[in-house]
Amino acid sequence: VPGGVVVVSKGGAVSEEYGDVIFACHSDQALALLGPGASTAENSALGAIKYQANEVYLHSDVSFMPRTRAAWASWNCLKGSRGTTGDDKSVCVSYWVNLLQNLPAGTPDLFVTLNPPTPPAPHTVQRQFTMSHPLFNQAAIEAQRVIADTQGAGGVWFCGAWCGYGFHEDGIRSAVTVADLMLGK
């Protein structure tokens, strides 16, 4: 639509016109939402960023941390550690939530582990889920450049962690960038 974007509800029952639409989601989700309305550049760039499913556990099993507590860090890579095989290509990382979130002293240890070679002890698991994370290869980096160059074309804007290095902070940074561009800052 000249000067705007038509948003159609799922099932097509309702449509409304807006001056701008911000897609604050994964690139593949934005592409699915745009459907055939995606421009050639959007289709190519958004489709170039691939995702990997990662098994994630929120737990209190200390066996996913270094044996020596003094070696515990915010991020602890388990690749090549006990329980992993040399030919395993997945990345296994345990985040020490207490340190990352500056939890009060005395708070029981809490960890988030991605792709463990074996699940944490069942009685320590508080939540288990699968998350998709972007894969940053040369095609993804080029796609980021294309998206940055086409931000706002046709009233369509994109933000998310995939616009940077995949961290939550990158999602926030990209949202602030979009807001600044929209406000002409």
Domain that holds residue 55: 51-133
Do 84 and 115 reside in the same domain of the chain?
yes
d(CA 91, CA 94): 10
What pLDDT band is residue 57 in, cutting at 50, 70 and 90? very high
Number of domains in the chain: 2
pLDDT in tens, 104-124: 999 999 999 999 999 999 999
Two structure tokens written together for 37: 């309305």
Final residue of a structural domain among 133, 151, 172:
133
Q: Are residues 61 and 91 in the same domain?
A: yes
Q: Judge if 16 and 46 occupy the same domain.
A: yes
Residues 75 and 129 in one domain: yes
Among residues 112, 133, 154, the one where a domain terminates is: 133
**Same domain (yes/no): 71, 121:** yes
Q: How far apart are CA 167 and CA 73, in angstroms?
A: 18
Based on the domain organization, do 121 and 76 belong to the same domain? Answer: yes
Residue 145 and residue 128 share a domain: no
Shared domain for 129 and 143, answered yes or no, is no
What value does the mean pLDDT take over residues 151-164? 96
pLDDT of residue 85: 56
| Reported pTM | 0.80
Q: Over the chain, what is the mean pLDDT?
A: 91
Report d(CA 50, CA 173) in Å as an integer: 21
Q: Are residues 58 and 96 in the same domain?
A: yes
Q: Which has the closest alpha carbon to 64: 105, 99, 114, 100?
A: 114
Percent of the chain with pLDDT over 70: 92
Does position 1 have pLDDT exceeding 70, yes or no? no
Whether residues 33 and 70 share a domain: the answer is no
* pLDDT at residue number 127: 98
Mapping DSSP to helix (H, G, I), strand (E, B) and coil, where does residue 7 land?
strand
Q: What are phi and psi of 50, to 5 degrees?
A: -95, 160
Q: Residue 84 has what pLDDT?
A: 52
- Looking at the fold, whether 15 and 75 belong to one and the same domain comes out as no
Q: Which of 133, 149, 168 represents a domain boundary (last residue)?
A: 133
The answer to whether residues 121 and 174 belong to one domain is no
